Amino acid sequence: MRTRDFAGTPVGAVGLGCMGMSWAYSESERDDDASVALIREALDLGVTFLDTAQPYGDGHNEALVGRALAGRRDGAVVATKTGLVVESPATRKLVRNGTPEHVKASAEDSLRRLGTDAIDLYYLHRVDPRVPLAETWGAMAELVAEGKVRRLGLSEVSVAQAAEAHAIHPVAAVQSELSLWTRDAMGEPGGMAGTMPGDSTGTGDGPGDVVGWCAANGAAFVPFSPLGRGFLTGTLTSADFEDTDFRGGNPRFQEEALKANLRIVEVVKAVAARHGATPAQVAIAWTLAQGEHVIPIPGTKKPKYLRDNAGAAGLDLTEADLAQLDGVPAAVGGRY
């Protein structure tokens, strides 16, 4: 697989989001042994940039990644996160906690679950509006000084927040949602910076051109949900989800919105047909085309989709392709 640079370390141009192996998507399909095998296959394919977080299954996902990496830790760059706590596993309600005490305690928990002596990339999952960002980020920087964390990142922040943190300690990466139907992080209007399910404390304002800020400041930009939570693969044509799948309550996946949003998928399919590629590969390749510093992390539980996603690293979209994709209709419905 082609590689991209993360803080001086080459990683696979396409990473792997591990959340869905434990949390939020069709949880009845959870199979820990199969997920461990999938993560190990990912490493064999050159998919070496792995993403997890403490809330994903209330610690389950970190432990799963740690199990998969036993004996192979040096072959992966592992990112996890702090700053969100599962208040209710049953409802998947999350609350923010950016206190220095939580940041440091949760790092110890992550190290234990991951079975490692250092976290490669430690994100602040969401900014806690009750705690000054400088205090949270300062505590995270202390973890770097102690050798427990190698690099720091931010998730779902604005340009102003990224700049504030960067002035205290280098921001190595910013993770935000980015796909053909979610372009908030590129400075397009209509964003809800920092929002999340069950949370009303986001700014409600667009975050600004975070992708561009990362390029200008030597940080990676890490798109999560580059496949539009599976929608851009072209395999979802009806709003039929099990109770444990959060998409069942997502505005974009309600029946009328979903039907309207299929116009986006038709464009993706047309580009894919020209290249003999899959819609998923085109959607991921579009994120890759936004800059050499962009490292998308599509998630999956299935080996065939892992291989398909990895193949996007070798797909070169033309200027005509990109112009056509850039012109897709705006998504109907909010992202949360």
Classified as helix, coil or strand, 37 is helix
Cα 260 vs. chain centroid, distance in angstroms?
25
56 counts as catalytic:
yes
Q: At what angle do helices 255-275 and 279-288 cross, to 10 degrees?
A: 80
Residue 201: is it exposed, middle or buried by C-beta count within 10 angstroms (0-12/13-18/19+)? Answer: middle
- Length, in residues, of the chain: 336
Classified as helix, coil or strand, 142 is helix
Q: Could you count the other beta carbons within 10 Å of the beta carbon of residue 110?
A: 25
106: which residues sit within 8 A by CB, 6+ positions away? 54, 82
Task: Please pick, among 56, 122, 123, 305, the residue that the annotation labels catalytic.
Answer: 56
114: which residues sit within 8 A by CB, 6+ positions away? 52, 62, 63, 65, 66, 69, 78, 80
Which residues are part of the catalytic machinery?
56
